[in-house]
Amino acid sequence: MASVELRDVSIRFPVYGARPRGLGGAFAAVGGAIRRGGDGILLVEALRGLSLSLTRGDRLGLVGHNGAGKSTLLRVIAGIYPPSSGTRRVHGRVLSLFDPMLGMALECTGRENVVLRGIYMGLTPRQARARIDEVADFCELGPYMDLPLGTWSTGMQLRLAFALATALDPDILLLDEQFGMGDAAFQEKAEGRLRDFVARAGIVVQASHSEPLIRASCSKVLLLDHGRAAMIGPPDAVFARYRAAAREAAVAR
Amino acid sequence: MNAPAARTMAPPNAAPPVPGRVSAALGDLADGARQWPQWFTLGNLEIRLRFRRTGLGPLWTSLSFAVLLAALGFVYARVLAVDPRTYVPYLALGLLAWNFAATMLQEACELYIHAAHTLKQLCVPKTVFLYRLLWRNLVLLALNAAVAAAALALCRARIGPSALLALPGLALLSLNLLWVGLLLALAGARFWAASRAVQAALPIAMLVTPVIWRPGTPALAALARWNPLYWAVELVRGPLTGAPPAPLAWAGAAGAALAGTAVALILFARLRERLLYWL
C-alpha cells in the first residue's frame, strides 16, 4: 500500500564557503529564508514546517516560484534529504525522475545504456536486459541502438531516457519539471505512454511551472511559497491564488 | 494545545535516537552489499571508460606498472647494492600492495563529491559507492598482479605453500581500507581540503615506508614497526617473499579491522544523514 506522510518537515541547508555581508533574515522574491544557525553558520531554509499526507490514487501537483521548495520536497519524499526536523514516513517503491539522463554513459551503446540505467534503478542485470527489446521498439531508434549514445542527437537521447524511465512500475512516482520528449511524432506516442505509466503508479507527485500540464494530470495542487505550504486544494482554487500572488509580487516591484 | 505537547515529544532539531541511527547505518552497509550488480557493473564500466580508445585498454595499467618496476628495479638494485634476483620480487610486491592501498585512499577522499549528482537523484545506499571503489581497485590490482607474477617468474623466486597466505592478507587489507576509506570519504565531503592533504601526504608516506628499501638497520626497523602502512604492505608482500607476518601481526591487522570498523560505523551512523547536506 503506497502512502506518504510528512509531519512538520523542515529542511535547512548549511552554507559553507560563503561569507555574506549581513544577510541574516533578508527577504528575497525567490528562494527559501536565509538565516543564521546557532553556531553562526548560514542556513538556507528550503522547507519550513511542511506537513503532507498522500494515499493511493493521489495525483499531487507542486507549484510555486523559483526556489519555493518544489524540488526539495520531491527529494524529501524520495528519501534523499532526511528532514532537518519533523518526520517522514513513506511506504512503497519510490521512483524519482529528476534528471532524465541519470546513469547514462555517452560512450556506451543504446543497448548498454538500457542495462546501465536499469541497474541504477535497482533492477538486476538480467531484468534490465529483458527490457532492451521493448524499449528499443518503443523508441524506434533501430540501428542506432548499437551505436554509442554520443553519436545520437539530444532528442534521440531523450527518447531513450523517456522510454527507459517509463518502463518501470513504481508505487510512488516523483517527477520534476517536464520530461523532454523529442519531436512531434514521438511526443504524441510518449504522452500516451506517460498517461499509462502515471495511471499504474499508486501516487504521483509532479513539480511543474506548466499550468496545463498540472491541470491535465493532477487532482490536487500544493502551492509552495518560500518553503512553506501556502495552500493545498483543487487546481482551480490553487491556481487562482497562485496567479493573484504573482500579480501582487509584480505590483510590489 | 496539541502543538506544544507534540513539540515536547519531538524537539525541532532532535536527531533520531542513537540505536535507530546505528541500525540504519548497518542497513546501509548490508543494502549496499546486496546491490552488488550496481557496484560490480559500474566499477567495471569505469575501468573500461577510463581506457577507452587507447588500443591496449586496461592493459595500460599493467604496462605502466611493468615500466615502473623495470626502471626502479634497475636503479635501486644498484643504489642499494643488492642482488636483483631477490630485490625485484620484493619491490614488485611492495609496489603492488602500495599502489592498491594508496589509490584507494586517495580516491576515497572525493568519493561522495563525485557521487553527489547521483546521490541527489536517487535514494541509494551510501556504501554502494565505497564497494564500487574497492571493486575497481581490486580489478586494477589484478592487472598489476600479473606483472608482479611475471617478475617473480623471471627472477626464479621460490614460492612455498605459505604464499597462499597472501590471499587472506589481501582480504584483511581490503577490510581495513574499507573503514579508512569510509572515514576519508565522509571527511572529504565535509572538508574539501582532505583530498589535498592526503594527496600531499601519500608520496611522503611511501618514501618513509619500506616499499623501495628494506628496514635493515635497527633504527629503520623501529620506524617500520610503528608504521601501520608497513604492516598493510606486509600482509600481501610477506607471504610471497617467504616471510609471512608473525601471528601477532595478523592479530593486529584483524584487531585494527574490527576496532576501525566499529569506529567508522559509529561516525557513519552520526553523519550519514548530514552527508547530502554537505554536497
Homologous superfamily of domain range A3-93+209-252: P-loop containing nucleotide triphosphate hydrolases (3.40.50.300)
For A197-250, the pLDDT digits (tens) are 878 888 989 998 888 888 888 889 999 998 999 999 999 999 999 988 888 877
Residues of A in contact with B113 (CB under 8 A): none
Nearest to residue A245, comparing CAs of A73, A33, A67, A29?
A: A29
> For residue B82, with 0-12 CB atoms within 10 Å meaning exposed, 13-18 middle and 19 or more buried, which class applies?
middle
What integer pLDDT is reported at residue B4 of this predicted model?
37
Average pLDDT, chain A: 85
- H or E element: which one contains A2? none
Minimum Cα–Cα distance from B278: chain A residue: A14
What integer pLDDT is reported at residue A20 of this predicted model?
59
Interface test mutation site (partner B, options A11, A16, A45, max chain B beta carbons within 10 A): A16
The grid coordinates of residue A88 equal 517522514
What integer pLDDT is reported at residue A178 of this predicted model?
60
CA–CA distance, B242 with B237 (Å, rounded to integer): 9
Rounded average pLDDT over A106-115:
89
Minimum Cα–Cα distance from A43: chain B residue: B277
DSSP letter string, B215-270: --SHHHHHHHHT-HHHHHHHHHHHHHTT-PPPHHHHHHHHHHHHHHHHHHHHHHHH
**CB contact set of A22 (below 8 Å; sequence gap of 6+):** none
3-state secondary structure of B142: helix
The grid coordinates of residue B230 equal 608497513
Residues of B in contact with A80 (CB under 8 A): 119-123, 276
3-state secondary structure of A162: helix
Minimum Cα–Cα distance from A88: chain B residue: B16
For chain A, percent of residues with pLDDT exceeding 70: 92
The grid coordinates of residue B161 equal 605453500
What integer pLDDT is reported at residue B19 of this predicted model?
66
Give the start-to-end residue ranges of the domains of chain B.
18-278
CA–CA distance, A111 with A130 (Å, rounded to integer): 11
Residue A104 pLDDT level (bands cut at 50, 70, 90):
confident
**CB contact set of B231 (below 8 Å; sequence gap of 6+):** B245, B249, B252, B253
Residues of chain B with pLDDT under 50: 1-14
The ipTM value here is: 0.84
For A76-88, the pLDDT digits (tens) are 999 999 999 999 9
> A252: distance to nearest CA of chain B, Å?
34
Q: Is the CB of B14 inside 8 Å of chain A's CB atoms?
A: yes
Residue A52 in this model has a pLDDT that exceeds 50: yes
Residues of B in contact with A121 (CB under 8 A): 122
The alpha helices in chain B, defined as continuous H runs, are: 2-9, 18-34, 36-50, 59-79, 84-109, 111-119, 127-154, 166-190, 193-208, 218-225, 228-240, 247-278
Please answer whether residues A11 and A45 qualify as being in contact, where contact means their C-beta atoms are separated by less than 8 angstroms.
Answer: yes
Interface test mutation site (partner A, options B34, B35, B38, B49, max chain A beta carbons within 10 A): B38
Number of CB pairs, chain A paired with chain B, less than 8 A apart: 63
The single residue listed with the C-alpha cell 535514494 is B123
Residues of B in contact with A14 (CB under 8 A): 277-278
Residues of A in contact with B122 (CB under 8 A): 78, 80, 96, 102, 120-121
The grid coordinates of residue A158 equal 531523450
Minimum Cα–Cα distance from B10: chain A residue: A86
Rounded average pLDDT over A29-58:
83
Q: Answer whether A82 sits within 8 Å of B276, measured CB to CB.
A: yes
Q: Answer whether A84 sits within 8 Å of B13, measured CB to CB.
A: yes
Nearest to residue B94, comparing CAs of B68, B75, B74?
A: B68
Q: Is the CB of B12 inside 8 Å of chain A's CB atoms?
A: yes
Residues of A in contact with B273 (CB under 8 A): 82
What integer pLDDT is reported at residue B195 of this predicted model?
95
